[in-house]
Chain A
Amino acid sequence: MTTSARDEVLRRIRTALGRTGGAAPQPSPVPRDYRTSLGQEPGAPGLLDLLVDRLVDYKATVHRCAPDAVGATVAAALAARGARRLAAPSGLPAGWLAAADVETVTDGAAQDGGALPVATLDAVDGVVTGCAVAVAQTGTIVLDSSPDCGRRALTLVPDYHLIVVRADQVVGSVPEALPRLDPDRPLTWVSGPSATSDIELDRVEGVHGPRTLVVVLVEG
């Protein structure tokens, strides 16, 4: 009988480590002397300013607004873009598109025929979603496939992505973001529009993912 590749590879590793049997070693302690927090509560004004600075640096467009002005701010951004037909996830809060003069197709909704085909996503003018968490220090927004984020294809195929970020979703650093995320969910960490540095290491924004990223930051 031939040994399975699995058994063979595991045997080779044990041989290489000089382990001939017995229990596995205990995990070695890891020195975690780095910063695990920027020391500010989620949504602190300093964090919001930092997030905006980092988003703009990576060529996202940012609009800040009060909670009662989300609909108007989204509507104005979509009007400026000239977007007529939009895709949205099934759990998008009702007010966000209420003021916008657009036709909406909802992914996964029975009246729109369930999951939207890729061709439909390719034909819409953009997509509006919420997010799970935003990281101020790196200018990152994380989508987690919850009802207001939608599945991953929804925020990938359209060329324009507008994300509404609530202040209480904004944390300081990467170590503060991870405990707020569920590893069982598919996650997309977005830092600016798609980009490439493959030609002479010059950064060019906009390749295969959405070429335009607009963030509406809801304060207060």
Chain B
Amino acid sequence: MTTFLGMPGLPVATERGTLRGPDTFPVAARRALADTQLRKNLGHATSTIRAKRARVVGELDDWEELRAAGAAIKADVMARLPELLVQLEENVTARGGHVHWARDADEANRIVLDLVRAAGTPDDPVTSVVKVKSMATQEIGLNEALAEAGIAAVETDLAELIVQLSDDTPSHILVPAIHRNRAEIRQIFLDHMPDVDPGLTDEPRVLAMAARAYLRRTFLAARVAVSGANFAIAETGTLAVVESEGNGRMCLTLPQTLVTVMGIEKLLPTWRDLEVFLQLLPRSSTGERMNPYTSMWTGAPRTSDGAPDGPQEFHLVLLDNGRTATLADEAGRQALHCIRCSACLNVCPVYERTGGHAYGSVYPGPIGAVLTPQLAGMHGHGADAPAGGDPVDSLPYASSLCGACFDACPVRIDIPSMLVHLRAKHVETAQAQRRVPGLPASAENAAMSAAAWVMQDAGRFSFAERGLQLGRLLARDGRIRSLPPPLSAWTTSRDVPAPPAETFRKWWARTRGDRS
């Protein structure tokens, strides 16, 4: 019996996959902060992408109107999700595609594995698939599931390839190898890429060409591809993948079989809605007016002459894996509006310093801090909570609530409010799990009760203020860097400003006292 803090009756994601990291955020963040090379790489990359995004967003004088439309379309999708999914299914099926439904990661992996096996014959089984970068398949741990069945999944996005070759994990939604610089990437290629030119330099162009040469033969021979999807149009059954390198086109065009794994929230109702999202997404993600390639296909695609054009075996896997549990929380469901642009990561002062690995989830950064706890569920202080605390529980606290993520979000997801909501949900449930009659439920509660008692009476408050003055003895340069327990819980990760020499009440009495 688990005590996940989800909606009763709606299961969260299965443990298989990559949502719950090994350490809580403070522990993992401290480790990341000690890595000066990582901080340098992240600082360089995030400042570059912020400037690019700002420039192309500034070119559109209707950006705020596009954001408002994007938010409204996504809210409409959530309200009509069952009907729109059925409509999508009908349209994909009518055009020669097949639709599968998966309750969780295990079920989705099993469906994909069966489809990959079915694409081969006993004499000529399929032993590898090409993959275009997909958050959903990372979330469900598809590569690992395929590997257990003896099928190699080859990541073809340059950054994913870097991560895969070095047996690493992604640290950014858009640029999974953002934590690596060119010198490190060169070394990874030299160490792990078969037949690589030993004279390889660390020029990004040279490194990209090495990846091209390495993957080309694989692309041209691939029989099965696995992809994600950026958008699916209910009205037409059309799927869209937005990319840069052409690895997506290779996967979506050359193999005979294509399996697309997509979260149920990625829908758009109408063809026209693309006019909003094809403007919002590229400018927010790579900071381009338009990404180099966008592929759209419907079912088993045919040219206008009726000739086959791309994979004639097309399978769409619709994935729940905690999304319905997220949808059940009215204050949290906005997290499902996310279009995975990663703008919120690039503007986040916390992400910029810790990088993505500290979040322990395939979805890092501000959006990850609200999406992961809802998809995977929080433990609170339940009996089955891991020793040292649940890493997922720590994510809503991985923010200074500065609000930069909300401003950057192309679909206006109010991440700061959701963080506060999830903190409250976490505290409330944790209290309920360990309440002892007659005693304050927690240190927070005890502190808050004491504060309420002090503030109810002017005399008590004045007395407390005098006590606070003692704090000045602990301060250096106007800051208090460490306090004794239990107050050290606050000062391990924050400074406290020294109390002023004169309280506001004293100042008022001294300067305006005659008027009161």
Which listed residue, B49, B62, B286, B295, touches A188 by the CB 8 Å rule?
B295
Q: Check if B212 sits within 8 Å of A152, measured CB to CB.
A: no
- Residue interface bits A27-40, CB-to-B below 8 A is 1, else 0: 11111111110000
Q: Which residues of A contact B333 (CB under 8 A)?
A: 16
Least distance between A88 CB and chain B CB atoms (Å): 14
Q: Which residues of A contact B177 (CB under 8 A)?
A: 198-199
In the assembled complex, A119 has its CB within 8 A of some CB on chain B? yes
In the assembled complex, B384 has its CB within 8 A of some CB on chain A? no
Task: For chain B, residues 315 to 353, give those with C-beta under 8 angstroms from any C-beta of chain A.
Answer: 318, 320, 324-325, 327-328, 333
12 A-B pairs within 8 Å (CB atoms) are namely A13-B82, A13-B85, A14-B82, A17-B78, A138-B290, A157-B254, A175-B272, A183-B271, A191-B291, A199-B182, A200-B48, A202-B204
Q: Check if B107 sits within 8 Å of A186, measured CB to CB.
A: no
In the assembled complex, A71 has its CB within 8 A of some CB on chain B? no
In the assembled complex, B103 has its CB within 8 A of some CB on chain A? yes
In the complex where A9-B324, A13-B81, A118-B254 touch, is A28 in contact with B204 (Cβ < 8 A)? no
Task: For chain A, residues 158 to 182, give those with C-beta under 8 angstroms from any C-beta of chain B.
Answer: 174-175, 178-179
Q: Check if A12 sits within 8 Å of B278, measured CB to CB.
A: no
How far is it, in angstroms, between the C-alpha of A152 and the C-alpha of B76 when the chains are bound?
33
Which listed residue, A138, A179, A188, touches B293 by the CB 8 Å rule?
A188
Contact stretch, chosen from A62-70, A78-86, A96-104, A139-147: A139-147
Q: Check if B48 sits within 8 Å of A183, measured CB to CB.
A: no
In the assembled complex, A204 has its CB within 8 A of some CB on chain B? yes
Q: Which residues of A contact B448 (CB under 8 A)?
A: none
How far is it, in angstroms, between the C-alpha of A194 and the C-alpha of B209 when the chains are bound?
12
- Residue interface bits B57-97, CB-to-A below 8 A is 1, else 0: 00001100110110011011011111101100000000100
In the assembled complex, B262 has its CB within 8 A of some CB on chain A? no
How far is it, in angstroms, between the C-alpha of A5 and the C-alpha of B111 when the chains are bound?
11
Q: Which residues of B contact A122 (CB under 8 A)?
A: 220
Known: A34-B66, A186-B310. 15 other contacts (CB 8 A): A13-B81, A13-B264, A14-B82, A19-B82, A30-B76, A31-B65, A90-B305, A137-B289, A138-B290, A151-B310, A184-B95, A196-B158, A201-B178, A207-B246, A208-B212
How far is it, in angstroms, between the C-alpha of A144 and the C-alpha of B301 when the chains are bound?
11
In the assembled complex, B398 has its CB within 8 A of some CB on chain A? no
Q: Check if A200 sits within 8 Å of B272, measured CB to CB.
A: no
Least distance between B27 CB and chain A CB atoms (Å): 28
Q: Check if B246 sits within 8 Å of A201, measured CB to CB.
A: no
Q: Check if A153 sits within 8 Å of B253, measured CB to CB.
A: yes
Select from chain B the residue with minimum beta-carbon distance to A179: B272
Q: Check if B159 sits within 8 Å of A34, measured CB to CB.
A: no
Least distance between B325 CB and chain A CB atoms (Å): 7
Q: Check if B82 sits within 8 Å of A24, measured CB to CB.
A: yes
Q: Which residues of A contact B249 (CB under 8 A)?
A: 152, 156, 188, 208-209
In the complex where A118-B220, A200-B41 touch, is A208 in contact with B289 (Cβ < 8 A)? no
Q: Check if B204 sits within 8 Å of A200, measured CB to CB.
A: yes
Select from chain A the residue with minimum beta-carbon distance to B291: A191
In the complex where A13-B264, A174-B278, A186-B303 touch, is A209 in contact with B292 (Cβ < 8 A)? yes
Q: Which residues of B contact A197 (CB under 8 A)?
A: 175, 244, 286
Q: Check if B303 sits within 8 Å of A151, measured CB to CB.
A: yes
Interface size on B, residues (CB 8 A): 107
How far is it, in angstroms, between the C-alpha of A58 and the C-alpha of B209 when the chains are bound?
19
Which listed residue, A146, A151, A196, touches B208 by the CB 8 Å rule?
A196
Q: Check if A199 sits within 8 Å of B309, measured CB to CB.
A: no
How far is it, in angstroms, between the C-alpha of A19 and the C-alpha of B69 when the chains are bound?
25
In the assembled complex, A56 has its CB within 8 A of some CB on chain B? no
Q: Check if B325 sits within 8 Å of A16, measured CB to CB.
A: yes
Q: Check if B275 sits within 8 Å of A199, measured CB to CB.
A: no
Q: Which residues of A contact B320 (CB under 8 A)?
A: 9, 12
Q: Which residues of B contact A184 (CB under 8 A)?
A: 95, 236, 298
In the complex where A199-B182, A201-B178 touch, is A27 in contact with B254 (Cβ < 8 A)? no
In the assembled complex, B116 has its CB within 8 A of some CB on chain A? no
How far is it, in angstroms, between the C-alpha of A30 and the C-alpha of B411 when the chains are bound?
13
Q: Check if A31 sits within 8 Å of B101, measured CB to CB.
A: no
Select from chain A the residue with minimum beta-carbon distance to B278: A174
In the assembled complex, A190 has its CB within 8 A of some CB on chain B? yes
Which listed residue, A54, A152, A187, A195, touches B244 by the CB 8 Å rule?
A195
How far is it, in angstroms, between the C-alpha of A25 and the C-alpha of B52 when the chains are bound?
40
Task: For chain A, residues 96 to 143, give those with C-beta under 8 angstroms from any C-beta of chain B.
Answer: 108, 115, 118-119, 122, 135, 137-140
Q: Check if A12 sits within 8 Å of B10, measured CB to CB.
A: yes
Q: Check if B276 sits within 8 Å of A34, measured CB to CB.
A: yes
Q: Check if A156 sits within 8 Å of B250, measured CB to CB.
A: yes
How far is it, in angstroms, between the C-alpha of A144 and the C-alpha of B238 when the chains are bound?
14
In the assembled complex, B432 has its CB within 8 A of some CB on chain A? no
Q: Check if B253 sits within 8 Å of A156, measured CB to CB.
A: yes
Task: For chain B, residues 438 to 462, give those with C-beta under 8 angstroms from any C-beta of chain A.
Answer: none
Q: Check if A209 sits within 8 Å of B233, measured CB to CB.
A: no
Q: Check if A185 sits within 8 Å of B304, measured CB to CB.
A: yes
In the complex where A31-B65, A31-B72, A156-B250 touch, is A200 in contact with B293 (Cβ < 8 A)? no
Q: Check if A183 sits within 8 Å of B208, measured CB to CB.
A: no
Q: Which residues of B contact A19 (CB under 8 A)?
A: 82
Q: Which residues of B contact A41 (CB under 8 A)?
A: none
Q: Which residues of B contact A20 (CB under 8 A)?
A: none
Task: For chain B, residues 175 to 197, give those with C-beta under 8 angstroms from any C-beta of chain A.
Answer: 175, 177-178, 181-182, 185
Q: Check if A191 sits within 8 Å of B101, measured CB to CB.
A: no
In the assembled complex, A42 has its CB within 8 A of some CB on chain B? no
How far is it, in angstroms, between the C-alpha of A191 and the C-alpha of B291 when the chains are bound?
6
Least distance between B58 CB and chain A CB atoms (Å): 14
Identify the interface centre among A24, A29, A198: most chain B CB within 10 Å of its CB: A198
How far is it, in angstroms, between the C-alpha of A204 and the C-alpha of B250 when the chains are bound?
19
Which listed residue, B175, B245, B252, touches A194 by the CB 8 Å rule?
B245
Which listed residue, B103, B220, B293, touches A9 by the CB 8 Å rule?
B103
